Structure 1
């Protein structure tokens, strides 16, 4: 199988082809030739106006629903959505029914995705049924293909349980995730605790709920050792806490959801349930700190935090709506409004190392693992841009710059 990418501008700062516009010939999943004006008869040609390519993008927090919530999203359509959104690999959250808390469940979702061009890496639940009581079969799940362990959007209430997890996983060099929220502070809050929540009469989740949990988790990490990942931080002080921990030499990483970089709790004025997110949208001061933390390396990666929710559970009263927004389709276009294309690509790829995923260089002889995109088009994100089964996007009506066009990997290709 010969595939030819025509007139593609490569953005790969570590490649000799960085910023060069070339043709890329791929045979049986391997990059065979990179040059201008390649003359061959390919089985497939991919050509777009203003085509750019980079190393494949990775999203560390994606939910698809299947098994159990197929009405929200299936694995097949979710992977197609990821591919057309430019992602060559995704980490699948264990928020399914049943929860991905054993080796059989991990093997099942991996087998369903094995032939798709997007590589799917399951996150195993940290505790049985994600109930926070007993540790799940962590080692067995890792052997089956789990790349880390955490209960999605559920904090580890029992500090001793997290201590045991950090100690136990050192035996097989595994990564533990801990969602940053102290539930006894957050209680039944719905949005950021600030003047907006007071004016709108909505129960708030204070910054303290996140920062207190992070402080506790970092103390535990300092005591136990091990590897800790804190997903989707959202406050200015959280950035400082993690920066200080890294200076101490603790093995900690963190991510930020793209919507927390660009959007604030001012969006709550219309009581749009798409703006009901966890962690909640915070203030401009927090967003600025998150952007700076991403730029200086304190925050290790961005995520779409893609969470499809069906209409029945989203288009309801604000109090009753489920938390979450889809985000794969809008990820690059949103990032590219506040960062350069090179910065956006860096933020979408540098999380791979933490999750032990190959970050393949664009060079002859390497397996193809390419994200395809364009960087210039300005547009408003609308329903026509949504590929997911669920339509709960926080970015509807927001300005975008640049679009994902698809992917090419050693397992195949998908384009818009």
Structure 2
């Protein structure tokens, strides 16, 4: 197949064509030619879209798929198709399936099921057996089978020595350890950010302190052990400051922020809509602004959707009983592009996450493998249920105004576009 992408503005700071509008000819999965005007031929598949922009393929470092065990929430097949149409050429899949992804064979199952799709699937294996936080899983074996990192999704490691040993052990094979930032004894039974809104609404609060204490502990352990630590989905202003200081002190720490924490606050909770029940909880406008600044200044490395499909039986119930989580692949670009500059977004979803998770760098240049996301950064629309391609429809972004829309991807010799 020969594909010709016409009049696309290239956003890739590592490319010689950065900020230039070019035609891109792709043959056998590689970029054969980039020029101002490449004549089309009848055997070419022509891609033309309004205000077409392209960048290196987007990589979402935290998505959950139900399969195995929770296929009613999302299958691997549908999840990868959603990711492709949402602009993602790669996703890192969390271990929160049933059974938990905590063995070599479970990692290989995920990779086998994802073979042949346009979007690449990279497993994040569990750090502990069954994600129970007691015994460390066989990290090295799972890495040899294709796991790119190790973490118990949304479950903090409460055992200090276990985290210390994990950070020490993973250094033997340059492994990346994830630690979810939540002190369980401080968080207690809380379900919303502790503050004015939780008090008004009568919801048990989770103070930002619960997140910050865990980060302080992990940073002290990292300073002692060395190694590489990734802190997923931070949500408070003080967390940004703690990680900034740790980086200044030379620690190998990285972090991510979810799109909903960059753009939404706990003011959304007044309707008691369980789609806004997330972990960590939505916090204040001041936290939002600090997180946005953290991305702009490079303290926060990665933006993620933290896509977590939850079936209606576990979501459309009383707020206090609902499971945490929101889908986010379909809305990530439009939501984040409304509050950040385009290039800050692109860096945080392409080159930076690939570096943190140890994937090879990519660029848009002649002779390179075509790994490309296609999008319109100025498309304004309101996100509705019709835009939700996931099996589960638990989005915190329904009826929110968006600025920017993904057209699709070219990856693994496949062109996937929205209709």
- 2:355 partner SS: coil
Equivalence for 1:394: 396
1:326, distance to aligned residue in structure 2 (A): 0.3
**2:105 is aligned with 1:104:** yes
Equivalence for 1:382: 384
Moved more, 34-43 or 248-257: 34-43
* Paired residues of 1:85 and 1:329 also in contact (CA < 8 A): yes
* Paired residues of 1:4 and 1:42 also in contact (CA < 8 A): no
1:43, distance to aligned residue in structure 2 (A): 4.3
Equivalence for 1:9: 9
1:288, distance to aligned residue in structure 2 (A): 0.9
Equivalence for 1:78: 79
> How many residues are matched?
416
Q: Distance in 1 between matches of 2:162 and 2:16?
A: 48
1:13, distance to aligned residue in structure 2 (A): 2.1
Give CA deviations for 1:210-264 in whole Å, capped at 9, x if unaligned: 0000001111111111110000001111111111111111110000011101110
Give CA deviations for 1:24-43 in whole Å, capped at 9, x if unaligned: 11111000011122123444
Q: Distance in 1 between matches of 2:191 and 2:413?
A: 42
Change over 3 Å in CA distance of 1:33–1:41 after alignment to 2: farther
- After superposition, residues 255-404 of structure 1 pair within 5 angstroms as 255-349=256-350, 350-404=352-406
Give CA deviations for 1:48-98 in whole Å, capped at 9, x if unaligned: 111110011111100011000000000000001000100110000000000
Structure 2 residues without counterparts, runs of 5 or longer: none
Instruction: Calculate the TM-score normalised by the size of structure 1.
Output: 0.99
* Paired residues of 2:292 and 2:340 also in contact (CA < 8 A): no
Equivalence for 1:123: 124
Equivalence for 2:142: 141
Q: Distance in 2 between matches of 1:67 and 1:310?
A: 15
1:21, distance to aligned residue in structure 2 (A): 1.7
- After superposition, residues 183-262 of structure 1 pair within 5 angstroms as 183-262=184-263
- 1:351 partner SS: helix
1:358, distance to aligned residue in structure 2 (A): 2.3
Equivalence for 2:68: 67
Q: Distance in 1 between matches of 2:150 and 2:413?
A: 26
Equivalence for 1:91: 92
Q: Distance in 2 between matches of 1:94 and 1:81?
A: 19
* Paired residues of 1:10 and 1:18 also in contact (CA < 8 A): yes
* Paired residues of 2:303 and 2:345 also in contact (CA < 8 A): no
1:341, distance to aligned residue in structure 2 (A): 1.9
Equivalence for 1:21: 21
